[in-house]
Amino acid sequence: MSQRSSQVAEELRKIISVILLREISDPRMGFLTVTRIELTDDLRYARIFYSVLGNEEQKQSTQEALAEHLGLIRRMAVERINMKYAMEIKFELDPSIEHSFNIDNILRKIKNKNDQ
């Protein structure tokens, strides 16, 4: 990703986070964190990675709510980021947080075994 893409991605991450926190009130959305955004070099497509703390049902309901509000979120983000054209956005669940928790649990089990 180019320097310009990185800067726009960080700004977009802040904007999307604020929109999800303050402007979208949907009870289906769980505790949601925007973890990172990947932009194409031409800044026309953005993949927004997010994590949800909770069980599979909460993750599924959050995914459904994001899909339903995608147009509104995109419109608000494009208005605030002030670009020449409207970029396409896509939300994707980021498995890295859950993967980190799994690794941490495995390491704790190994440590507990070694301590006994």
- What does R_g of the chain's alpha carbons equal in angstroms? 17
CATH code for the domain in which residue 52 is found: 3.30.300.20
Question: Alpha-carbon distance 55 to 109, whole Å?
Answer: 22
- pLDDT tens figures, 87-99: 899 999 988 777 7
Give me the DSSP letters along 27-74.
Answer: TT--EEEEEEEEE-TTS-EEEEEEEEES-HHHHHHHHHHHHHHHHHHH
Whole-structure pTM value: 0.80
- pLDDT tens figures, 14-57: 999 999 999 998 889 888 999 999 999 889 999 999 998 888 89
Q: What's the total number of domains in the chain?
A: 1
Tell whether the torsion through CA atoms of 9, 12, 16 and 22 is positive or negative. positive
Question: Alpha-carbon distance 102 to 12, whole Å?
Answer: 29
Q: Residue 29: which domain range?
A: 3-115
